[in-house]
Structure 1
């Protein structure tokens, strides 16, 4: 572009001077004479207004002008800079004494009115137009065409299309004046793959090890999924640096790439030939620390972890000094920065290299201790400042501590109120002389409220659900109308209300949680209330459902709990306590696990829990760390305090059961049997232990492995009383609890029908629930997008689990196995949505399916699942 303008500018100037000299000869005036501009005419215009062009020149009638002189040259240069004209010429039309009249002749550049792409998918065209700026109304220049062509070619080359070709043509558009249409033909060709990577000169490190060192440059290999074999120049050049690092890791610090070449095999394949020189192998000698006063040599050596005589490893040395690949590394730089020395510098310097041994000095400039001067928060439009500040571990006046910043990022991400991917504190106003720095937390709010509004057909009728969940609620502003936006928000409290109803059941539940009870310490208070009603239903011969509301089973419950973060064993631990009460009321309704259909059962239970949540990367898509919880729920051993002989009650009950199954019972005996079970279960007694652990590991890039293990056991104190009919485990399906509020645990096991991996009574049509279960799963996750408006990730899983009714049958390795794929979408207003396709390799436990082979393919929908 520059060359083209300069040439035209030069030719135009020569033309002007020639014209001017001829006019000067005709009018007999001296070179460089001063004139008054008497007039300026603009010719050649097609779309521009003459006055507009005159304004561009900056010339005005009546002004002094020297001809020839710099003024005209500057005007020409200015007009060229506008890139609106393809030719610019000045002429002298007349001279009257000291007055000169000029003519400016221009040729306008055509305007782009329409553009068409061929050889590009429709969805990609808009992005190309935006990147190349080939939009309607743009002036068509040679540089625009050239730059656009080069951009598109390079774009496809970066994707492995080394043979990509682009042709751009323009044609006159007859619908308007001085306009042109443009056609862009793109021929990507096939991707060029790397057939082989050939090394020369390597004697100590094998080809296989060197190929593995190339992170993004791989040769074609069957079965490779995550790394493609396409050739991308930029990645290849970066990988050559990693190749040298691989030699340095193994002691060859002088290794270098002598030459590398790309050998074309055919149109779609190339070979890479890399010639290296390894050099000699080196070892670490003496490592001395210089300038350290805060830490002793022994302390620094413990962090450095390199001893005299170790094989030289330049990459390891660099990482132990300052590892920038991790947010919280254990290196010497972090050791200083975690103790307030932000401005410290640590540099390893080779001081001698005798034979094969290298001596080092680690030169340290500790600098001044650094303190936080100001800590500010911005971007929180809904969340109140105190909710954020109480989670921050960075406060004004404290020493600068990198570890505290990393932990604060995690805590803010765990709140769920902000986009975890965009929590980036900025270090401002750093003053090494005074030892102060400011910290600015820039946050992006994400939706923290969810609504569940569903309607569907099931259980013989319409099912309607209304759920509201506000995870950033403010109860203190409940009666302040001006705080409703649309509900009072900002104090970090949780308020959830859920209503569900059909012909056969109704559910009401309310939950409130305050994470900082009293506002001074992280003590979480939780209060929940619930009530569910289940009505008896029967079907006539036509399939119509008949509801009998005189036959019903209801559960009314209330739970209050406290949970506190503790400092030991570390401050990721939380200890929780809760007290719950449930009233089970039966009115002419029998669920099959006991003999009475009228009566009440009461459950008063205390739950103690220990959990440790140290995940990294936010709640939606954790990328590292772990999360586990152990809980023990138990009731008082009521039978221990009772004078009743429960052994006698059980024996008599078993006698009546045998008689019932053989010859039937009289009305009196049936009434006695019901009274016996009512007596056994009037006050429920049991203990329940559960464990659940999740571990997250980033394998490569954003690919994350989630490992999961679960176990649960429900036991009884007194064998004469027996196991309670509630609080049981139901395994199989999507893991959603639906409307059940009887303390049961619904355990996800994809690839099997709902609750199909749960023991059934002989001939029963529904499971009775298990007393023991265990489950293991591996899940690979990869994010498609992690934006605040919607986070989406795909997954593939392997899963195995089972349930049992006693320890005699329990075998942790006797698993119902499954595998499959799925997709998760998190939208702030609706929670987590998803779908899984799972294949069950084994038979489930449904009596009618025994011997029918594997469970096969199952589809599971996840709607509104919480974290």
Structure 2
């Protein structure tokens, strides 16, 4: 075999490319191939050796590499090219051999060159002189889009990998085009077209500009989804199972009808799961087609073969020593003859939403190393029998607790909320409760919670790492509003508000210089300062401080607060024309968590004092137009709260019962007829008792628990110890509107919101001692991001207040319906806007009632009202 033919054979094996041989020279060349699919590009190779060298392919010769010359590598470091090639001066090389082919392959793999050649210029005394010649690929100097707006272009930039200086290849062009088309298809533009023009840059050498021409076409929507062959599951149920592939409907608000291949593939699996849930485990899609009916709409036809229906057979347990098989049967809740449902079996064995599963049974009792495996043992007459094999393992105890991610909150604040204590038996339920308790603090991003168990089977322990992510919890309220009426002047006023709430404050660090960044924080204390004013007509100031763990050992909270409110007609108090009221108050609240009936309960004890000074205010306080009153009261509250989150609860409930009372002064005052004494003497010390009950529940209506139904009921009653002395002129209920604080909330009255009506219009002008309210809300989150939680809602609510027990009728209520939005911003708290329609006429005692002959639209009902709210539960009973 000739020398050139042998070298041809070796190079062909090494580079799988074309080899061309010449009598006086041999050359290896790597050239870019321009195939339709850029992944298929391969180097094209040749070798050329000058100087009349004759090669014996049967007897390769070893040379020493002399100086290596680099040609065509403008903009690249020659030494870097030599390094990548794997060739260096002084290196021994065999020709013919594999090293030259490897050098070309190494350079080609970098993707920087469109052509790679290696020449042997000459050979002198066993030293071979090489030249590496490369043709660099062009660089990207810039790129721009046509056919789309800036917002869409910005979104595409986030997905494509283009930047100035990036090496251009056919593969890059292909992938960029594919990603842009994929983006448009995910947005519903199934017929989108993209063309990338490569324009030489006239300024930068060996550089190109990409002109990306985008033609989205029209957005294609799913006109109809036809399901054929389904008999056991209704088509509507199957369509609802397809979460992201929806046909067009007028009522569809939260889901679009766009078509994407990825969503369609997922939803076909979800559809088949519906068949599996009713025993049709062999159900399959035998044919499906997606076709255009016009340039805007497509149709989907899906043909189903249901197959036969299956049932559960006998279920036996193996390996269980801690619990009897009959007890495990009860927890499992599946009996022979039940319709076969593999998903239900998995949920009952491992992870059920309600905690009713075998895995929870064991893991809540310390068996962290527990494992369960269902094995099919018999298949007769469409009955599937199972042998459930349990490996209990040994009990695991909690080892070390680690906390990571708390850059602001001190460790002890987190540790006191953690239910998993070192030395305790491991319990999955304790971990779930810990996550809830940490979420209730409001300091951390709930979506970023992580729990990392680190078990050590040999020692029988498990270390637990809790990972949190701090979020802003302090709130700043700086606002000005025009609205609400001065109830003295009956004129709308401009009200300015400045409020500061620090939810993770630290008094301990007040005198630590480095802690002021900007304020001492990390100990979980709450400090609130708030002021409202519009000048001389209205002023309100509030201060409160809460220590949630008084003494640091038990969850016993202490709150102290002070407030002062002044409302008048603008005249100085010494002026004879002055009309107004001032209220000054202070109080202290002690709270504690209870362990009985369960640890979701808490209770609080409050002692408060309010001083009322009324001047010529008979229009609003007919029982005390002039004078002062002292309100010394004690309040007890018991509450059970199991909601999953304080901002957007998706499950759980809050039930509250409270009682507030003053001393029964009339018992020892010795006055039989209070009508015979002055109002000042009658109400010098207020005498009353109040009982309030409120309950709210949250029900997730969707599998992802995003769609939530909230129901709430509230009732309040205020009574008098002495019928002759009568109901206190203060602390009465005022119903209607937004329930927001400000000009419409006169101190000493409890304002209850009822959307769809004007503020305070449903109660008598002096307030009422009895109130009821019922609420139902359907909520759906647009964003659960902790920096801006945003959800929409639709509501139906009803309520009323009553001047006496004789008038009380819990079914005589004023109804309204409407919709609204809520947005929670950490710096401002919960903000809300609602638009409601009230459609019941007012009661005769209501302040907004104008008589039966009134023909205004407000008295006829069906009028809309826009209301604004600030805060979480303002205006609730």
* Alignment TM-score, normalising by the size of structure 1: 0.87
Distance 2:513 2:578 in 1: 43
**In the alignment, which residue of structure 2 is the partner of 1:661?**
none
The answer on whether the counterparts of 1:47 and 1:178 sit within 8 Å (CA) in structure 2 is no
Which of residues 375, 394, 417 is equivalent to 1:349?
375
Q: CA deviation at 1:596?
A: 4.8
Displacement of 1:842 after TM fit?
A: 4.5
1:738 and 2:745 equivalent? Answer: no
Name the stretch that deviates more: 450-459 or 485-494.
450-459
- Equivalent residue number for residue 819 of structure 1: 817
Contact in 1 for aligned 2:242/2:271 (Cα 8 Å): yes
| CA 1:256–1:465: 2 relative to 1, 3 Å | closer
Shift of 1:743: 3.4
The aligned residue for residue 423 of structure 1 is 449
**Counterpart of 2:655?**
628
Q: How does 1:704-783 map to 2 (within 5 A)?
A: 704-738=708-742, 742-759=747-764, 767-783=765-781
Shift of 1:593: 1.9
The 1:89/1:719 distance shift into structure 2, 3 A limit, reads: same
DSSP 3-state at the match of 2:273: helix
CA contact (8 A) 1:12 1:88 kept: no
Q: Residue 226 and residue 549 in structure 1: after superposition, are their counterparts in 2 closer, same or farther (change >3 A)?
A: same
Mean Cα deviation higher: 45-54 or 632-641 = 45-54
For residues 549 and 622 of structure 1, the distance between their equivalents in structure 2, rounded to whole angstroms, comes to 51
- Cα distance change, pair 589–147 in 1 and its aligned pair in 2 (3 A): same
Moved more, 637-646 or 30-39: 30-39
1 CA distance for matches of 2:585 and 2:126? 105
Report how far residue 335 of structure 1 moved. 0.9
Residues 58-97 of structure 1 mapped to structure 2, 5 A cutoff: 58-97=86-125
Q: Closer, same or farther in 2 for the Cα pair 1:245/1:829, shift >3 Å?
A: closer
Report whether the alignment pairs 1:475 with 2:507: yes
Instruction: Say if 1:418 and 1:202 are closer, same or farther in 2 by CA, change over 3 A.
Output: closer
CA deviation map 1:210-238 (0-9, x unaligned): 44444444444443344444333333333
Change (3 A) 1:227 1:787: closer
Structure 2 residue aligned with 1:526 = 559
Cα deviations by residue, 1:612-666 (Å, 9 ceiling, x for unpaired): 11111x21111111112121112222222221122xx32x5xxxxxxxxxxxxxx
- Residues of 1 paired with 2:623 and 2:813: CA distance? 33
- Identify the residue that residue 639 of structure 1 maps to in structure 2: 666
2:851 aligned with 1:860, yes or no?
no
Q: How far does residue 690 in structure 1 lie from its aligned partner after superposition?
A: 1.8
For each residue in 1:113-138, what CA deviation from the matched residue of structure 2 results, as whole angstroms up to 9, or x when unmatched?
Answer: 22122333321322322321022221
Q: Give per-residue Cα distances to partners, 1:277-328, cap 9 Å, x unaligned.
A: 333333333222211111112211111112233333333222211236x3x5
What corresponds to 1:665 in structure 2? none
Instruction: Evaluate the alpha carbon distance shift between residue 268 and residue 27 of structure 1 in structure 2; reply closer, same or farther with a 3 A threshold.
Output: same
Displacement of 1:241 = 3.1
* Aligned-residue offset at 1:795: 2.9
Matched, 1:487 2:513: no
Tell me the SS of whatever aligns to 1:339.
coil
Tell me the equivalent position of 1:497. 529
- Structure 1 residues 516, 315: CA separation in 2 closer, same or farther (over 3 Å shift)? same
State the secondary structure of the residue aligned to 1:166: strand
Q: CA deviation at 1:86?
A: 1.0
2:658/2:691 contact within 8 Å kept: yes
Correspondence for 2:646: 619
Which deviates more from structure 2 when the two are superposed, residues 172-181 or residues 213-222? 213-222
2:550 corresponds, among 496, 517, 521, to 517
1:677 aligns with 2:679: yes
Q: Secondary structure at the match of 2:49?
A: helix
Structure 1 SS opposite 2:687 = coil
CA contact (8 A) 2:776 2:795 kept: yes
Structure 2 unmatched runs, 5+: 1-11, 29-45
Q: How does 1:120-159 map to 2 (within 5 A)?
A: 120-159=148-187
Q: 2:387 aligns to what SS in structure 1?
A: strand
Q: Is the 8 A contact 1:839 1:855 kept in 2?
A: yes
1:846 maps to: 848
The change in CA–CA distance for 1:213 and 1:600 in structure 2 (over 3 A counts) is closer
Partner of 2:330: 302
Shift of 1:447: 1.6
- Contact 2:14–2:101 (8 Å) recurs in 1: no
The residue that corresponds to 1:239 in the other structure is 267
Aligned-partner SS, 2:559: strand
Aligned residue among 91, 95, 100 for 2:128 = 100
Cα gap change, 1:866 to 1:112, in 2 (>3 Å): farther
SS at the partner of 2:691?
strand
Task: Give the helix-richer structure, 1 or 2.
Answer: 1
Contact 1:533 1:553 (C-alpha < 8 Å) held by counterparts: yes
SS of match in other structure, 2:107 = helix
Kindly state the Cα deviation for residue 248 of structure 1 after the two structures are TM-superposed: 3.0
Structure 1 stretches lacking a partner, 5+ long = 1-5, 540-544, 653-674, 760-766
Which whole-Å CA distance do the structure 1 matches of 2:600 and 2:230 have between them?
Answer: 49
The answer on whether the counterparts of 2:27 and 2:118 sit within 8 Å (CA) in structure 1 is: no
CA–CA separation in structure 1 for the residues paired with 2:631 and 2:456: 63
Give the drift of 1:142: 1.0
The reply to whether residue 184 of structure 1 matches residue 196 of structure 2 is no
1:726 positional shift:
0.8
* Aligned-partner Cα distance in 2 for 1:114–1:548: 78
In the alignment, which residue of structure 1 is the partner of 2:339?
A: 311
**Secondary structure, in 3 states, of the residue corresponding to 1:27?**
coil
Q: 1:211 to 1:391 in 2, by over 3 A?
A: same
Aligned to 1:669: none
| Aligned equivalents of 1:782, 1:13: Cα separation in 2 | 67
- How many Å separate the matches in 1 of 2:579 and 2:172? 80
247-256 or 207-216, larger mean C-alpha shift = 207-216
Structure 2 counterpart of 1:362: 388
C-alpha distance in structure 2 between counterparts of 1:464 and 1:847, whole Å: 31
Q: Is the contact made by 1:594 and 1:677 (CA closer than 8 Å) also made in structure 2?
A: no
Distance 1:510 1:210, change over 3 A: closer
Q: Once structures 1 and 2 are overlaid, which stretch shifts more, 725-734 or 117-126? A: 117-126
Contact 2:47–2:118 under 8 Å retained in 1? no
Greater shift after overlay, 790-799 or 135-144? 790-799
Secondary structure of the residue aligned to 1:26 is: coil
Q: Using a 3 Å threshold, how does the CA distance of structure 1 residues 349 and 623 change in structure 2: closer, same or farther?
A: same
Distance 1:572 1:259 in 2: 53
SS for the counterpart of 1:554 is strand
Aligned residues of 1:843 and 1:851 also touching (Cα < 8 A): no
Contact 2:156–2:183 (CA<8 Å) still a contact in 1? no
Deviates more, 1:387-396 or 1:455-464: 455-464
Distance 1:13 1:718 in 2: 114
1:796 paired residue number: 794
Q: What are the residue-to-residue correspondences of 1:159-178 with 2, within 5 Å? A: 159-178=187-206
Question: Cα offset for 1:441?
Answer: 0.4
> Does 1:450 pair with 2:450?
no
Deviations 1:391-440 (A, max 9, x none): 11111111111111111100000011111221221122x23343222210
| Residue equivalent to 1:251 | 279
Secondary structure in 2 aligned to 1:475? coil
Query: What's 1:672 paired with?
Result: none
- 2:631 & 2:394 partners in 1: Cα distance? 62
Q: Give the conservation status (yes or no) of the 8 Å contact 1:843–1:852.
A: no
